[in-house]
Amino acid sequence: MNKNRLEAFSDGVLAIIITIMILEIKVPEDSSFESLKPLIPVFLSYVLSFVYVGIYWNSHHHMLQAVKKVNGSILWGNLFLLFWLSLIPFATSWIGSQHFAAVPMSVYGFILLMCAISYTLLQNRIIKLEGKDSILYKAVEKDVKGKISLLCYISAVPLAFVSPWISGLLYTTVALMWIIPDTRIERQINKN
- Tens of pLDDT, residue by residue over 97-149, are 999 999 999 999 999 999 999 999 999 999 999 998 888 898 888 889 999 99
On the question of pLDDT at 10 being above 80, the answer is yes
Burial class from Cβ neighbours inside 10 Å (0-12, 13-18, 19+) for residue 126 reads buried
> Is residue 82 within 8 Å of 111, Cβ to Cβ?
no
pLDDT over 70, % of the chain: 99
Closest CA to 147 of 111, 124, 174, 165: 174
Give per-residue pLDDT as tens, 154-177: 999 999 999 999 999 999 999 999
Q: What is the pLDDT of residue 192?
A: 67
Please report which residue ranges of 40-131 form alpha helices under DSSP H. Answer: 40-65, 72-86, 88-97, 102-130
Report domain extents, the chain.
Answer: 4-191
Count the alpha carbons within 13 Å of 33 in the hemisphere toward its beta carbon. 0
Mean pLDDT for all residues in the chain: 93
In this structure, which long-range contacts are made by residues 102-110, counting pairs with CB atoms below 8 Å and at least 24 apart in sequence?
A: 102/160, 102/161, 102/164, 103/160, 105/156, 105/160, 105/164, 105/167, 105/168, 106/157, 106/158, 106/160, 106/161, 106/167, 108/167, 108/171, 109/153, 109/156, 109/157, 109/160, 109/167, 109/170, 109/171, 110/157
* Per-residue confidence band for 1, with pLDDT thresholds at 50, 70 and 90: confident
DSSP state of 39: G
User: Does pLDDT of 181 surpass 80?
Assistant: no
Confidence grade of residue 47 (pLDDT, cut at 50, 70, 90): very high
Q: Is 89 within 8 Å of 116 (Cβ atoms)?
A: no
